[in-house]
Amino acid sequence: MLNVLLHSNELANSEYRPNHPFKPARAGLLLELLNRYALLDHENQKIVESVSLNEELLYLFHTKKYIDILKRAESGEFTVDMLQAGLGTTDNPVFPSMFRLALLASGATYEGAMLLLGNTTRVAFNPIGGFHHAGKDHAEGFCYINDIAVTIADLVRRGQRVACIDIDAHHGNGVQDAFFDTNQVLNISLHESGKTLYPGSGFETEIGEGEGTGYTVNIPFRAETDDEVYLFAFEALVPPLIKAFNPDIIFTVIGGDAHKDDPLAHLNLTSNAYKHIVTVINQIAPKIMAVGAGGYNIHRAVSLWTLAWAVFCGLEPVDRHAGLIGGMMYGPETNAGSLEDPPYAIDGLNKDRCFDDAKKVVRFIQDHVFPIHGIIG
């Protein structure tokens, strides 16, 4: 079975605006790092060129009115409804090729998912995908088109059971809204609490509505949460839920912004937790569609994705540059030559508070969501 990396040079060379924290250039750096660690030249691996999303698919989630606004904004028009649709802000600037690039990034995610249906591909990874904040009628949080919502909606239409596991530091609010009232998708988001981080939602009490009750699962963490606390909640909740739901495909949003060095979020994860989570997902998923999402310490995000790709492919990264260069190419010199962090833990009152919060969340979900899935908590 193949492991496919979706890539587009055009996308990797694009940018929202100079100084905007979302950097598509991470995709080019990822290729360099994957080559450096000998993670791209195995026979079950393939790089596939991204293709644009067919516009018709947008309407599986987005409104026609919003898509029209996106197109008009890209063409240079300015109208008040663009502001109402979240465009022209610091987070979501209007820039040349905005809509076209969003279609290309989303198209790669969709393409990856379609490859999974062909039964020759087990894992597809689109590093420049995962726009989980985009709403049906507006842009927000650096996201214009919700590639996750569109792609999962199409997979469901094709009779697939899809579970989404989102480990980006931010709550996947757009994806939550898309599937809040359906039991066709199990949507699990692990993130920093909305009390301290955008978008301010994703509390454990948000569990879906109507038929969808119990199929939205939010696992918020207190700011400063470290590997140990995070893994406690992950292990207690995610594998049992996935096992009970029994998906055909796990769609996973592997943002790197929960890392302790991320400048936008306040969690304290290291590569050790990240690698463990990805390993568990790899073990419990029949097939995986992975998207890169956030990660604003670029060196860290790209290192984490490299580790994830190695796990998906069952490979150990081997540094081809070890001993050859002084380690100035990637990040601080002390970190070069290794993708992995030393162990890191918080302690004292801070740790107790993080653990107490996590225990409350775990208990709430075991009490209110597990019974819906027939899981003995």
Residues with catalytic annotation?
A: 133
In whole angstroms, how close is the CB of 141 to Zn ion at the nearest point?
8
Q: How many residues of this chain interact with Zn ion, rule: CB under 5 A?
A: 6
Q: In this structure, what DSSP letter does residue 343 have?
A: P
In whole angstroms, how close is the CB of 169 to Zn ion at the nearest point?
5
Tell me which residue has its CB nearest to Zn ion: 294
Contacting Zn ion (CB under 5 A), which of 129, 255, 256, 292? Answer: 255
Contacting Zn ion (CB under 5 A), which of 170, 260, 275, 287? Answer: 170
In whole angstroms, how close is the CB of 349 to Zn ion at the nearest point?
27
User: What x-and-dash track marks residues 58-97 binding Zn ion by CB under 5 A?
Assistant: ----------------------------------------
Residue 54 burial (10 A CB sphere; 0-12, 13-18, 19+): exposed
Asked whether 295 and 259 are in contact (CB, 8 A), the reply is yes
Cis, peptide link before residue 24, omega less than 30° from 0: no
In whole angstroms, how close is the CB of 300 to Zn ion at the nearest point?
13
Asked whether 357 and 221 are in contact (CB, 8 A), the reply is yes
For position 257 contacting Zn ion by CB under 5 A, the verdict is yes
> Terminus-to-terminus CA distance in the chain, angstroms?
35
Question: What torsion do the CA atoms of 126, 128, 131, 132 make, to the nearest 10 degrees?
Answer: 50
User: What are the residues facing 44 on neighbouring strands?
Assistant: none
Nearer to Zn ion, 172 or 247 (CB): 172
Nearer to Zn ion, 174 or 255 (CB): 255
Q: How far apart are CA 22 and CA 10, in angstroms?
A: 16
The residue count of the chain comes to: 377
Q: How far apart are CA 377 and CA 368, in angstroms?
A: 10
For position 262 contacting Zn ion by CB under 5 A, the verdict is no
User: What x-and-dash track marks residues 293-312 binding Zn ion by CB under 5 A?
Assistant: -x------------------
For position 202 contacting Zn ion by CB under 5 A, the verdict is no
Q: How far apart are CA 161 and CA 168, in angstroms?
A: 22
In whole angstroms, how close is the CB of 26 to Zn ion at the nearest point?
13
Task: Tell me which residues touch Zn ion (CB under 5 A).
Answer: 168-170, 255, 257, 294
